[in-house]
């Protein structure tokens, strides 16, 4: 096992581990990439849970699913303070997103399982049907009554035009960003599919996740218990580090770009 616990690694170590990771990818047939906040933050999207993140500025108890559906005042607070400026149309994929999309173009990627809600994997070129969004997507808004979905851009326009609590135009039901709020369960179908993919892959690559948010953090264990090889790319320690065959302490974009450069040389002969 290649194992390292300290701070971001030096160039020689990163290069060596990237070469080893590229070897594993080259030999693999069905790869699952599992991505967390460490991928989104490299596109300038603030993290919710890390120091200096969203929950350092807001109390998460004010943003639960129960409060959202139970109080118009709570919905107003959430829309105006949290969701109105959460994502902008100028946010773009970063090298980690493009590297994962390259895995798909090279026929190696089974799917991406992501904890992120920005849909940047699709923007980078991963087909929508290969992206399992465990926590939903901020690109969509859902009516809790009739199930109609709206593009977030349409709802943001209504907010900026002065509508404080947008409602469904079809049935006047409650509109909610199509993401999983505190106190709300993950969608059963999405998680079940993610678990199935994890249990049937031969290589599971964690990119930018500390693996502390459950039940999503169980998925690498499902893969490892089913015989898959595990690669972890993350700046901080994770509970699964000792199960990883390759552990890379580096930024997601830097590590994935280096790995894909190595892989290209192997696949191009």
Residues of the chain with pLDDT under 70: 1-8, 46-60, 82-89, 269
- CATH 3.40.50.1220 corresponds to the domain 1-45+93-135+185-269: yes
Q: In the annotation, is 200 catalytic? A: no
Of 16, 97, 121, 135, the active-site residue reads: 135
What was the pLDDT predicted at 1?
40
What was the pLDDT predicted at 183?
87
Q: Judging by DSSP bridges, how do beta strands 136-143 and 149-151 pair with one another?
A: antiparallel
Domain ranges of the chain: 1-45+93-135+185-269, 46-86+138-179
Indicate the SS3 state at residue 177.
Answer: strand
Q: Judging by DSSP bridges, how do beta strands 109-114 and 31-35 pair with one another?
A: parallel
Helix axes 252-267, 11-27, angle to 10 degrees: 50
CA dihedral of 22, 24, 29, 35, whole degrees rounded to 10? -70
What was the pLDDT predicted at 4?
42
> Of 175, 236, 195, 220, nearest to 37 (Cα)?
236
- CATH 3.30.1600.10 corresponds to the domain 46-86+138-179: yes
d(Cα 115, Cα 266) in Å, to the nearest integer?
Answer: 30
Place of tokens 């399982």: 113
Contacts 24+ apart (CB under 8 A), 139-144: 139/87, 139/178, 140/177, 140/178, 141/166, 141/175, 141/176, 141/177, 141/178, 142/175, 142/176, 142/177, 142/178, 143/168, 143/170, 143/171, 143/173, 143/174, 143/175, 144/69, 144/173, 144/174, 144/175, 144/176
In the sheet that holds 31-35, the strands lie side by side as: 131-133, 109-114, 31-35, 203-207, 229-233, 246-248
What was the pLDDT predicted at 78?
85
d(Cα 75, Cα 68) in Å, to the nearest integer?
Answer: 5
């Amino acid at each position: 096992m290649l194992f390292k616990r300290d701070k971001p690694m030096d160039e020689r170590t990163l290069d060596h581990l990237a070469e080893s990771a590229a070897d594993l990818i080259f030999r693999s047939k069905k790869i699952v990439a599992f991505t967390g906040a460490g991928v989104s933050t490299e596109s300038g999207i603030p993290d919710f849970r890390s120091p200096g993140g969203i929950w350092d500025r807001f109390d998460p108890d004010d943003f639960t699913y129960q409060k959202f559906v139970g109080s118009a005042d709570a919905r107003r607070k959430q829309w105006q303070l949290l969701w109105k400026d959460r994502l902008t149309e100028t946010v773009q994929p970063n090298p980690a997103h493009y590297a994962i999309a390259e895995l798909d173009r090279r026929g190696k990627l089974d799917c991406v399982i992501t904890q992120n809600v920005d849909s940047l994997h699709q923007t980078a070129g991963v087909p929508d049907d290969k992206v399992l969004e465990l926590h939903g997507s901020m690109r969509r808004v859902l009516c809790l009554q009739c199930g109609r979905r709206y593009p977030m851009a349409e709802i943001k326009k209504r907010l900026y035009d002065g509508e404080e609590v947008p409602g469904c135009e079809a049935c006047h039901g409650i509109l909610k960003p199509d993401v999983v709020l505190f106190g709300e369960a993950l969608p059963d179908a999405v998680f079940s599919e993610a678990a199935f993919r994890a249990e049937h892959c031969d290589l599971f690559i964690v990119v930018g996740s500390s693996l502390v948010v459950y039940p999503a953090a169980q998925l690498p264990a499902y893969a490892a218990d089913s015989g898959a090889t595990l690669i972890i790319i993350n700046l901080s320690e994770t509970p699964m580090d000792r199960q990883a065959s390759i552990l890379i302490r580096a930024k997601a974009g830097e590590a994935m770009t280096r790995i894909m450069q190595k892989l290209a040389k192997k696949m191009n002969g």
